[in-house]
């Protein structure tokens, strides 16, 4: 009899988007053969919420979804207290989603000191400092189900994943959303006349696409196995980053025509030199609709 | 230290600039330049396959030169207003010390576009120079000193103004020395571009 | 006694008071709020398209459509192509369908003593999520609908792919929920035809009859729906009388004591929203028959919700056949949003019922935003004198376990209600 890894999924201030994204994992049956939820917001579990908060039940991994505040209670028990208790027994903690990692959208709700588990945007939060070395962050709004599931398997198989400065697995977060977007050619050749509703064109120049400087694998591992936001024509909103959400999201902030945020790691001079060169040339194939003759 | 081939190329460029400035672009031939450098014409063609190719290399040479000077200014930890002044200063300084360079840019590059249309499309041959101007503008807006506007409106104002002054100097119309105009010109430019 | 209800997209507390061994009142308490309406104040109008889907992880798409329509309502003379309108309705249908499958297999089965059928809930939901993703990039949480249309430039083969997901979902429905020999459930007009058939829905209906529960969960028999589109009708229904002339101006939202959720009334009365309401307003024959025999009980509510699945699947295919891909997906508004100082509102049928958004813009910045969710309608926490819909449905029942079944038959979404 295979021993299943015991997982507790507990939620703070959330919309449950991560829970539902998780349910889109294609091989759920196989997953549930290997992992057992001692509690989950939707799936049946051996214990009720009241059981989970009343006793510290045997558990291997703690998953936290949603923004956190010392005021939040679950079944009349303080969430922080629940986290403290379980963090002593589990081998790993995963913050599921941008809210639990960085504070996210609900950072501005009206509770005291709302933040992620270890980060409030880019600032470090000390409250759970002692369990930082046990934590892995899977940011995203919502998370991509494969990222969560594969990280759980890595924990099960005792594989130490390399993590970035926000504790996100580099295997997923070292890439940018820009890697693999079908609109890359328009970016490469600075064809910047994109309009909404067109499959042609790159949205970085005018429509606020944050893909070139947002960490994640959305265009490498597609969403729902079929597509991604940028492929479909929606700019990347930077939802895996500590600063999510920024404002004026559908517009590119420019300073005198030059994008204020440049692709990750690219120096300004480099970018402008390349932009200057490519803008000098007109590539006919990229100036017209793909399906035109 | 440049290697011998690169050094020779630079010598050819410097010599060509002087001849273009004194005799005119169309009046100067490759044999003229070769003679001035005491080279054979055949040897000249080893370095530059044609006069048009030479012309393009020269503009790139000037762009790199100006770009380097502007980069030094951009990298200084000074205010946008001070940067503006320094850019005007350096431009006029080069106009005085190396008049053939600015002269080349205004009278040859800008006025003989057909020479440059293949291989110098758009602004690719003045890339280093334009990039530094872009950085000056972008950082000025980012820190809140300059008004955010279309790049070309601002570029035209700055470059047109400077180019115009140098042109007037070249025509001997300006009563005062170029550097006596630096303060007023920097002030005008900064006032026009700032928030 | 207080019962903590879990796994309703969050939690809620039901405070029961008993008299003569029957429930004589239930206080419904929601435990948190995220203050999204406040978070929206001061934000750029279009940012609401990104923030509002995060009101809810299972019906966020309805919030997106409600947001874009409320913003568009702020413009005068804004054009949206038919193609964009149809596409928006399609993806909304897919979300509704996904909700209903999840509710039945995650929530309803355990109420009758069965284990959750995880894969039966997840598989069709994944198909519907894929259908949405082909068009909108991803699911959950996309913001592909923008003021002026949609960002997607879909092609014929995209629609072919979407139709395959629809067909596969329909097949799954028939193989698992209910199979009636020789006919499509859509053709049924007699509720009795649904009993004693193959399928999980039939099984649950049989269980209801077996337990003598078929008349449980009745409330005021008052229904309302505001989200008119090519399939749903706007209107209200009292017993069997229908009125189509209703306006959102007569809606009132007010705080209830002891709960973070607000109550909603229409002309000072509580109304039920949701699939049952929609089917009655559409004069759907099968639901009409169920209503004749079982009124607004558990049976009608459950059947109406499950029955919406094949109806919406069929209607979606019809919608696809109407799409003219040559039309533009997006028509740029003539006026920039930064020049808009105006107010707008919208009503959309989300899975659980009418969802209403109201926005006030000043130079393109949100000054005020109001969201009224379907669960607020159904689970309004009224008083003994004026009971809310689900309260009335639970009062008179003999124990809290039955009450929980009635409560969950409304398909509760705690996160929506505590925005």
DSSP SS3 for B143: coil
Residue that is last in its domain, among A137, A171, A205: A171
What's the fold here for domain C2-417?
Answer: Cytochrome-c3 Hydrogenase; chain B (1.10.645)
DSSP SS3 for C259: coil
Distance CA C268, CA C252 (A): 7
Chains linked to C by 3 or more Cβ pairs within 8 Å: A
Mean pLDDT in chain B? Answer: 91
Q: Which of A256, A268, A281 sits opposite B121 (nearest CB)?
A: A281
User: Chain-centre distance of CA C175, in angstroms?
Assistant: 24
Distance CA C98, CA C133 (A): 13
Question: Nearest-CA residue of chain B relative to A279?
Answer: B122
pLDDT score recorded for residue C304: 97
Distance CA C257, CA C353 (A): 24
A189-205 pLDDT, tens digit each = 888 788 999 999 999 99
What's the fold here for domain B52-193?
Answer: Tetracycline Repressor; domain 2 (1.10.357)
For residue C239, pLDDT over 90 is answered with no
Distance CA A145, CA B145 (A): 45
Question: Nearest-CA residue of chain A relative to C60?
Answer: A17
DSSP string, chain A: -PPPEEEEEEESB--SHHHHHHTT-TTHHHHHHHEEEEE-SSS--SS-HHHHHHS----SEEEEESBB-TT-EETTEEHHHHHHHHHHH-SEEEEESHHHHH--GGGGSSSTT-B-SSEETTEE--TTGGGGGGEEEE--SS--HHHHHHHHHHHHTT----B-TTS-BHHHHSSBTTTT-TTHHHHHTT-----TT-SSS-STTTS---GGG-BS-TTTS-BTTTB-HHHHT-----TTSTT-S-SSTTS--EETTEESSPSTT--HHHHHHHHHHHHT---HHHHS-TT--
Residues A255 and A209 in one domain: yes
Are the C-beta atoms of residues C358 and C345 closer than 8 Å to each other? yes
CA distance, residue A178 to nearest chain C CA (Å): 15
A75 touching C, CB under 8 A? Answer: yes
Mean pLDDT in chain A? Answer: 95
Q: Where are the domains of chain C?
A: 2-417
Cβ <8 Å between C44 and A248: yes
C397-419 pLDDT, tens digit each = 998 899 999 999 999 999 998 88
Q: Which of A14, A50, A197 sits opposite C151 (nearest CB)?
A: A197
**Cα radius of gyration (chain B):** 18
C6 touching A, CB under 8 A? Answer: yes
pLDDT score recorded for residue B1: 64
Are the C-beta atoms of residues A236 and A230 closer than 8 Å to each other? yes
Residues A223 and A158 in one domain: no
pLDDT score recorded for residue C183: 81
The domain that contains A241 carries what CATH number? Answer: 4.10.480.10
CA distances from residue C79 to C45, C76, C333 in whole angstroms, order as listed: 18, 9, 7
Residue that is last in its domain, among A171, A186, A213: A171
pLDDT score recorded for residue A1: 53
Cβ <8 Å between A49 and C4: yes
Cβ <8 Å between B151 and A257: yes
Residues A119 and A189 in one domain: no
Distance CA A63, CA C223 (A): 40
For residue B2, pLDDT over 80 is answered with no
* Angle, helix B127-142 to helix B151-170, in steps of 10 degrees: 120
Q: Which residues of C touch A32 (CB under 8 A)?
A: 118
C125 touching A, CB under 8 A? Answer: yes
For residue C10, pLDDT over 70 is answered with yes
B vs C contact (3+ beta-carbon pairs below 8 A): no
Cβ <8 Å between B149 and A260: no
C254-289 pLDDT, tens digit each = 998 778 899 999 999 999 999 999 999 999 999 999
For residue C343, pLDDT over 70 is answered with yes
| Max intra-chain CA distance, chain A | 69
**Cα radius of gyration (chain C):** 21
pLDDT score recorded for residue C240: 75
Q: What is the band of B73 on the pLDDT scale with cuts at 50, 70, 90?
A: very high
CA distances from residue B42 to B17, B35, B54, B111, B190 in whole angstroms, order as listed: 20, 12, 15, 29, 50
DSSP SS3 for C350: strand
A vs B contact (3+ beta-carbon pairs below 8 A): yes
If phi over 0 gives left and psi between -120 and 50 gives alpha, with beta otherwise, what is residue C386?
beta
Residues A151 and A274 in one domain: no
A221 touching C, CB under 8 A? Answer: no
Chains linked to A by 3 or more Cβ pairs within 8 Å: B, C
C244 touching A, CB under 8 A? Answer: no
DSSP SS3 for C4: strand
Chains A–C, number of C-beta pairs less than 8 Å apart: 191
B141-195 pLDDT, tens digit each = 999 999 999 999 999 999 899 989 988 988 889 999 988 999 999 999 999 999 9
**Cα radius of gyration (chain A):** 21
pTM exceeding the 0.90 threshold for the entire prediction: yes
Q: Which residues of B touch A281 (CB under 8 A)?
A: 121-122
- Residue B97 tokens, joined: 């010390």
Q: Residue A279's domain spans which residues?
A: 175-293
Number of structural domains in chain A? 2
pLDDT score recorded for residue A293: 80
Q: Which of B131, B138, B154 sits opposite A273 (nearest CB)?
A: B131
Distance CA C89, CA C65 (A): 9
Q: Which residues of C touch A17 (CB under 8 A)?
A: 53-54, 56-57, 60, 140-141
Are the C-beta atoms of residues A127 and A1 closer than 8 Å to each other? no
- Residue partners of B172: CB distance under 8 A and separation at least 6: none
Residue that is last in its domain, among A107, A136, A171: A171
Please give the DSSP secondary-structure letter assigned to residue C186: G
Q: Where are the domains of chain B?
A: 1-49, 52-193
Residues A90 and A207 in one domain: no
- Number of Cβ atoms within 10 Å of the Cβ of B144: 12
C-proximal residues of A, 124-143, CB under 8 Å: 141-142
CA distance, residue A102 to nearest chain B CA (Å): 26
**β-bridge mates for residue C28, sequence order:** C14
A14 touching C, CB under 8 A? Answer: yes
Cβ <8 Å between C122 and A48: no
Helices (H), chain B: 4-23, 30-36, 41-47, 51-74, 80-97, 99-103, 113-116, 127-142, 151-170, 182-193
Are the C-beta atoms of residues A66 and A10 closer than 8 Å to each other? no
- Residue C71 tokens, joined: 């913003």
CA angle centred on A283, ends C136 and B133, rounded to 5°? 95
Portion of chain B with pLDDT greater than 90, in percent = 66
Cβ <8 Å between A197 and C330: yes
For residue A264, pLDDT over 80 is answered with yes
User: Tokens 């003593």 — which residue?
Assistant: C113
Q: What is the band of C323 on the pLDDT scale with cuts at 50, 70, 90?
A: very high
Q: Which residues of A touch C53 (CB under 8 A)?
A: 17
> What ranges make up the beta strands (E) of C158-246?
222-225, 235-238, 241-243
Q: Which of A256, A277, A280 sits opposite B137 (nearest CB)?
A: A256
pLDDT score recorded for residue B117: 84
The predicted model gives A216-232 an average pLDDT of: 97
pLDDT score recorded for residue B109: 85
C-proximal residues of A, 77-106, CB under 8 Å: 105-106
C vs A contact (3+ beta-carbon pairs below 8 A): yes
Q: Which of A15, A19, A234 sits opposite C151 (nearest CB)?
A: A234
Mean pLDDT in chain C? Answer: 95
Q: Which residues of A touch C3 (CB under 8 A)?
A: none
Q: What is the band of A40 on the pLDDT scale with cuts at 50, 70, 90?
A: very high
User: For chain C, what percentages of helix, strand and coil (3-state, to nearest 5) are there?
Assistant: 45, 20, 35
Cβ <8 Å between B138 and A273: no
For residue A281, pLDDT over 90 is answered with no
Q: Which of C57, C125, C138 sits opposite A228 (nearest CB)?
A: C138
CA distance, residue B22 to nearest chain A CA (Å): 32
For residue A131, pLDDT over 80 is answered with yes
Residues A40 and A180 in one domain: no
CATH of B1-49, picked from 3.40.50.300, 1.10.10.60, 1.10.760.10, 3.40.1380.10, is: 1.10.10.60
């Amino acid at each position: 009899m295979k021993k299943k890894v015991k997982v507790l999924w507990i939620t703070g201030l959330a919309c449950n988007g991560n829970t539902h994204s998780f349910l889109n994992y294609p091989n759920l049956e196989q997953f549930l053969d290997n992992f057992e939820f001692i509690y989950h917001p939707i799936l049946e579990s051996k214990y009720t919420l009241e059981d989970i908060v009343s006793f510290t039940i045997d558990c291997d991994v703690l998953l936290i979804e949603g923004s956190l505040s010392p005021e939040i209670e679950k079944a009349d028990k303080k969430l922080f207290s629940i986290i403290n208790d379980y963090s002593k027994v589990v081998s790993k903690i995963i913050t599921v989603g941008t809210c639990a990692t960085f504070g996210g959208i609900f950072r501005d709700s009206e509770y005291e000191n709302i933040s992620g588990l270890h980060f409030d945007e880019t600032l470090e939060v000390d409250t759970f400092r002692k369990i930082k070395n046990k934590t892995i962050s899977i940011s995203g709004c919502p998370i991509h189900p494969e990222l969560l599931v594969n990280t759980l398997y890595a924990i099960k198989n005792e594989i130490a994943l390399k993590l970035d400065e926000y504790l996100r697995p580099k295997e997923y977060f070292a890439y940018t959303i820009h890697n693999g977007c079908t609109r890359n050619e328009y970016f490469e050749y600075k064809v910047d006349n994109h309009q909404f509703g067109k499959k042609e064109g790159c949205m970085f120049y005018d429509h606020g696409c944050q893909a070139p400087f947002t960490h994640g694998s959305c265009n490498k591992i597609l969403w729902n196995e079929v597509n991604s936001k940028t492929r479909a024509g929606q700019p990347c909103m930077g939802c895996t980053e500590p600063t999510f959400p920024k404002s004026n999201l559908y517009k590119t902030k420019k300073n005198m025509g030059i994008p204020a945020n440049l692709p990750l790691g690219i120096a300004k001079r480099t970018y402008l030199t390349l932009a200057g060169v490519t803008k000098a040339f007109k590539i006919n194939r990229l100036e017209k609709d793909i399906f035109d003759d | 230290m440049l290697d011998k081939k690169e050094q020779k190329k630079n010598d050819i460029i410097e010599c060509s600039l002087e001849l273009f400035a004194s005799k005119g672009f169309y009046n100067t031939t490759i044999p003229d330049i070769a003679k001035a450098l005491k080279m054979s014409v055949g040897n000249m063609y080893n370095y530059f396959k044609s006069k048009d190719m030479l012309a393009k290399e020269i503009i790139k040479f000037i762009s790199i030169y100006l770009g380097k000077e502007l980069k030094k200014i951009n990298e200084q930890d000074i205010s946008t207003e001070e940067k503006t002044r320094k850019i005007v200063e350096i431009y006029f300084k080069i106009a005085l010390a190396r008049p053939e360079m600015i002269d080349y840019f205004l009278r040859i590059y800008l006025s003989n576009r057909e020479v440059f249309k293949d291989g110098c499309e758009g602004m690719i041959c003045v890339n280093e120079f334009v990039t530094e101007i872009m950085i000056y503008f972008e950082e000025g807006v980012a820190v809140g000193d300059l008004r955010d506007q279309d790049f070309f409106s601002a570029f035209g104002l700055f470059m047109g103004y400077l180019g115009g002054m140098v042109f007037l100097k070249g025509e001997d119309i300006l009563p005062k020395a170029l550097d006596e105009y630096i303060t007023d010109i920097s002030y005008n430019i900064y006032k026009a571009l700032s928030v | 006694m207080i019962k903590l209800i879990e796994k309703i997209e969050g939690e809620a507390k039901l405070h029961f008071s008993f008299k003569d061994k029957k429930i004589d009142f239930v206080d419904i308490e929601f435990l948190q709020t995220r203050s999204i309406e406040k978070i929206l104040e001061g934000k750029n109008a279009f940012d609401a398209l990104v923030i509002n889907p995060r009101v809810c992880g299972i019906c966020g798409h309805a919030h997106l459509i409600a947001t874009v329509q409320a913003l568009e309502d702020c413009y005068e003379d804004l054009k949206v192509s038919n193609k964009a309108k149809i596409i928006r309705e399609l993806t909304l249908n897919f979300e509704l369908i996904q909700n209903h499958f999840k509710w039945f297999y995650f929530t309803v089965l355990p109420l009758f003593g069965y284990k959750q059928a995880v894969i039966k809930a997840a598989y069709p939901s994944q198909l519907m999520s894929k259908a949405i993703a082909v068009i909108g990039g991803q699911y959950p949480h996309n913001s592909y609908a923008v003021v002026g249309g949609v960002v997607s430039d879909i092609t014929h083969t995209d629609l072919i792919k979407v139709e395959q997901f629809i067909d596969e979902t329909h097949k799954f429905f028939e193989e698992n929920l209910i199979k009636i020999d020789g006919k499509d459930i859509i053709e049924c007009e007699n509720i009795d035809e649904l009993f004693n058939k193959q399928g999980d829905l039939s099984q649950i209906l049989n269980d209801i009859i077996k337990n003598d529960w078929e008349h449980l969960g009745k409330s005021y028999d008052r229904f309302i729906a505001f989200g008119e589109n090519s399939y749903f009708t706007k209107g209200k229904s009292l017993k069997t009388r229908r009125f189509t002339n209703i306006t959102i101006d007569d809606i009132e939202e007010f705080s209830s004591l002891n709960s973070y959720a607000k109550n909603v009334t229409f002309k000072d009365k509580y109304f039920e929203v949701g699939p049952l309401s929609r089917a009655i307003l559409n004069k759907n024959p099968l639901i009409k028959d169920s209503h004749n025999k079982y009124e607004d009980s558990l049976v009608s509510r459950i059947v109406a919700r499950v029955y919406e699945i094949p109806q919406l699947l069929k209607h979606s295919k019809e919608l696809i056949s109407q799409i003219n891909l040559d039309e533009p997906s997006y028509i740029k508004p003539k006026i920039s949003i930064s020049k808009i100082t105006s107010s707008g509102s919208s009503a959309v049928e989300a899975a659980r019922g009418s969802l209403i958004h109201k926005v006030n813009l000043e130079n393109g910045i949100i000054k005020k935003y109001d969201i009224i969710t379907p669960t607020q309608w159904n689970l309004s926490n009224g008083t003994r004198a004026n009971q809310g819909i689900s309260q009335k449905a639970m009062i008179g029942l003999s124990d809290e376990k039955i009450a929980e079944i009635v409560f969950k038959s409304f398909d509760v979404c705690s996160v929506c209600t505590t925005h």
